[in-house]
């Protein structure tokens, strides 16, 4: 089922309930192996802000709809719990992202489904949902300080971004090679690649620093080419 067909099913279901001013807040998708996808959708109303609805579309296309009490809705039970149980965000509108960030900021120490929170923040990282995005629509909120980036079993403990390139330093205390540096992109959509593994913090950081400088020089060279400057711009970088 493509996204347009999914929207049609959701809108048709709401209209069958006599609701013509519904707006889709977010849609979650779960891959059930060979059985297909299951969807969980949340819909609010443009005129009745207290009314909220949930629609589940199973792998057979069967639709189940529920009323959700506004006072009962919270991001922990209705978003992070699902994200912790193999659902992924298919889409979420800007208003909802702002509401989620606002609630995260209010609930910092009270969130139970912390893996679900991390999955949500990872989605935000990959889709440029950040404090600057929030500022475009509303006032600035920043909750990315709660994000612990991971690649496999490695926690990302340092990151350098410039242009469309990034270098990260990872750490896994249980690995025979506890440190690693990878190249990636700021949104991480192309994954992590060209890993350099190391045993000591010092050697890993030296490699991280070297790769950051390489990225910096590559970026400056690209910028100089755009400006028609023939001389390389990497002089004076090494110390």
pLDDT tens digits for range 91-105: 999 999 999 999 999
pLDDT one-digit tens code per residue, 159-196:
999 999 999 999 999 999 999 999 999 999 999 999 99
Q: Do the bridges between strand 51-57 and strand 87-92 make them parallel or antiparallel, or are there none, so unpaired? A: unpaired
Locate the domains of the chain by residue range.
3-145, 151-226
3-state DSSP percent of the chain in helix, strand and coil, to 5: 40, 30, 35
Closest CA to 27 of 60, 4, 51: 4
**Residues sharing a CB contact under 8 Å with residue 164, sequence separation 6 or more, in sequence order:** 185, 186
Tell me the β-bridge partners of 226: none
**Residues sharing a CB contact under 8 Å with residue 11, sequence separation 6 or more, in sequence order:** 22
DSSP state of 59: T
Mean residue pLDDT of the chain comes to: 92
pTM, 2 dp: 0.84
C-alpha span between 237 and 175 (Å, rounded): 33
The helix (H) or strand (E) run that includes residue 150 is strand 150-151
* pLDDT > 70? residue 144: yes
Could you give the strand order of the β-sheet that contains 179-184, starting from the edge strand earlier in sequence? 150-151, 154-162, 165-171, 179-184, 193-198
Percent of the chain residues past pLDDT 70, beyond the cut = 96
Confidence of residue 232 (pLDDT cuts 50, 70, 90): low
Q: What is the CA radius of gyration of the chain?
A: 22
Tracing tokens 């896994």 back to the chain, one arrives at 172
Q: In this structure, which long-range contacts are made by residues 39-43, counting pairs with CB atoms below 8 Å and at least 24 apart in sequence?
A: 39/1, 39/6, 39/90, 40/82, 40/87, 41/6, 41/10, 42/68, 42/78, 43/10, 43/14
């Amino acid at each position: 089922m493509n996204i347009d067909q999914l929207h049609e099913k959701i809108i048709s279901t709401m209209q069958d309930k006599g609701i013509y001013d519904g707006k889709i807040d977010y849609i979650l998708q779960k891959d059930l192996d060979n059985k297909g996808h299951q969807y969980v959708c949340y819909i609010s109303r443009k005129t009745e802000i207290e009314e909220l609805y949930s629609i589940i579309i199973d792998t057979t296309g069967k639709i189940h709809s529920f009323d959700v009490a506004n006072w009962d809705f919270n991001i922990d039970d209705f978003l992070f719990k699902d994200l912790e149980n193999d659902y992924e965000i298919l889409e979420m509108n800007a208003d909802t992202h702002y509401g989620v960030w606002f609630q995260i900021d209010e609930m910092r120490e009270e969130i139970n489904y912390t893996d679900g929170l991390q999955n949500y923040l990872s989605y935000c990282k990959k889709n440029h949902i950040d404090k600057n995005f929030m500022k475009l629509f509303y006032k600035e909120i920043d909750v990315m300080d709660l994000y612990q980036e991971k690649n496999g079993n490695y926690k990302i403990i340092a990151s350098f971004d410039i242009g469309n390139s990034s270098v990260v330093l990872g750490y896994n205390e249980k690995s025979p090679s506890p440190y690693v540096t990878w190249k990636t992109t700021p949104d991480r959509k192309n994954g992590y690649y060209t890993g350099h593994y190391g045993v000591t913090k010092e050697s890993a950081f030296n490699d991280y620093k070297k790769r950051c400088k390489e990225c910096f020089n590559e970026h400056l060279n690209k910028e100089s080419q755009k400006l028609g400057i023939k001389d390389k711009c990497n002089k004076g970088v090494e110390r």
